[in-house]
Amino acid sequence: MSFEPKILGIACNWCTYTGADLAGTTRLHYPPNVRVVRVMCSSRINPSFIFRAFQLGADGVLVGGCHPGDCHYNTGNLYARRRLAVTKKILEFAGLEPGRFRVEWISASEGNKFAEVVQEFTAQIKELGPQQKLKIDELQEKA
């Protein structure tokens, strides 16, 4: 069986989640690997959510928020940008493949961008193969 990665998506309610809905409304097909958690703002994302997702066996994590300047809460994503950048550096220095964590700004009108990003990211994760590093040992035995 070919490797079908599990990818966690975390999307802000106002832009990326709505954009993802738009991708659906316009029937843009994309790989089924991304499972989206809805939060109100990308700034809600606690870095530990991302660490936890990798521990639980996520092969990749994709975070989506409004474009900087377009945040529904004015400045949330500007904080998120910094916090997530640091998260990325931490994962990288720990030795995780940098390509497994990605932040994209996808607006409510960018259904096509959502589909494209998912397509691209899924392909990238497939390339990288299963994520084994942070994954909890017990789960690895199971696999």
Partner 1 sequence: MLKKISISKISELAAALMDKGLLLAPVKEISGHNFVEIKDPKQVDLDFHNTIASPKAAFFPHKEDFIKYETGKPIDTASVVALNLPPTFLFGARPCDVKSFGIMDIHFIASGIVDPFWKQRREAAVIFGYAFDLEKPAQPEEFYQTLGIGAADPEGSDIFMVKKGGDLLLNSVTPKGEKILTELKILNEGKAADKKYYDEYIKKGKEYKTRSMCLEPGAITKKLEDLFQNTDFWNRVSSACISCGVCTFVCPTCYCFDICDDTLFGHGTRRRVWDACMFTDFTLEASGHNPRTHVYQRLRQKINHKYSYHVRKYGVISCVGCGRCTKYCPVNIDIYSIIEDAMKA
Partner 2 sequence: MTDFRQIENNLKKEAKRLLEAGEVAVVLAYGRGYDEKHPMPFAAKTIADVESLVFNEYCNFNMASYLMRYPWGTKIAIAAKAADSRAIIQLVQEEKVRREDLVILGIPAYGMKNQKTNEVVDSKTTGGLYNPVIYDILLGEEIHGQKIVSPYEVLAEYEAMDKEERWAFWKSQMDKCIRCYACRKACPMCYCDPCFIDQNKPRWADKAPQSPGNMMYHLTRFHHLAGRCIDCGECSRACPVDIPLYLFHKKVAKECEEMFGQAAGMKLEDKPVLVDFRVEDSDKILE
Partner 3 sequence: MSRIGVFVCHCGLNIAKTIRVSELAEFASTLPDVVVARDYRFMCSTPGQEMIANDIKEHRLDRVIVTACSPLMHEHTFRKVIEKAGLNQYMLTIVNIREQVSWVTSDIEEGTAKAKALLNGAVYRARLLAPLSSRVIDVNSGVMIVGGGIAGIQAALELANTGKKVYLVEKNSTIGGHMAQFDKTFPTLDCSACILTPKMDAVLQHPNITLMTYCEISEVKGFVGNFDIKVRQKARYVNHDKCNACLACTEKCPGKGISEWDEGLVKRKAIHIPFPQAVPQKPVIDRDACTYFLKGKCRLCEKVCEQKAIDFEQQDTFIDVKVGAVIVATGYNLMDTSPLVQYGYGKYPGVYSALEAERLFNSAGPTSGKVTLRDGKEPQAIAILHCIGSRDKNNYEHCSRVCCMYSLKFAHLFKEKTSADVYQFYIDIRAAGKGYEEFYNRIIEEDVKFIRGKVARVAESSDEPGRLIVEAEDTITGKFVQLPVDMVVLSPAMIPREDSKEVGRLFNLSTDKHGFFMERHPKLAPLSTMSEGIFIAGTCQSPKDIPDTVAQANGAAAEALTIVSREKMELEATTAMVNPASCCGCQNCVRVCPYGAPLFNYEKGVSEINEALCKGCGLCASVCPTSAIIARHFTNEQVLAEIEGLMEF
| C-alpha to C-alpha distance for 92 and 98, rounded to whole angstroms | 5
**What letter does residue 131 receive in the DSSP assignment?**
-
Q: Which of 82, 85, 136, 140 binds partner 1 (CB under 8 A)?
A: 136
Q: How far is the CB of 115 from partner 3 (least distance, A)?
A: 7
In the list partner 1, partner 3, partner 2, none, the entry touching 8 (Cβ below 5 to 8 angstroms by class) is partner 3
| C-alpha to C-alpha distance for 41 and 64, rounded to whole angstroms | 9
H helices within the chain, ranges in order? 16-25, 47-55, 76-94, 111-128, 137-142
Cβ atoms 10, 39 nearer than 8 A: yes
- 122 touches partner 3 by CB under 8 A: no
Q: Which residues bind partner 1 (CB under 8 A)?
A: 56, 136, 138-139
Q: Which residues bind partner 3 (CB under 8 A)?
A: 6, 8, 13-15, 17-18, 20-25, 27-30, 32, 35-41, 43-47, 49, 52-53, 56-58, 66, 69-70, 72-76, 79-80, 83, 107-110, 115
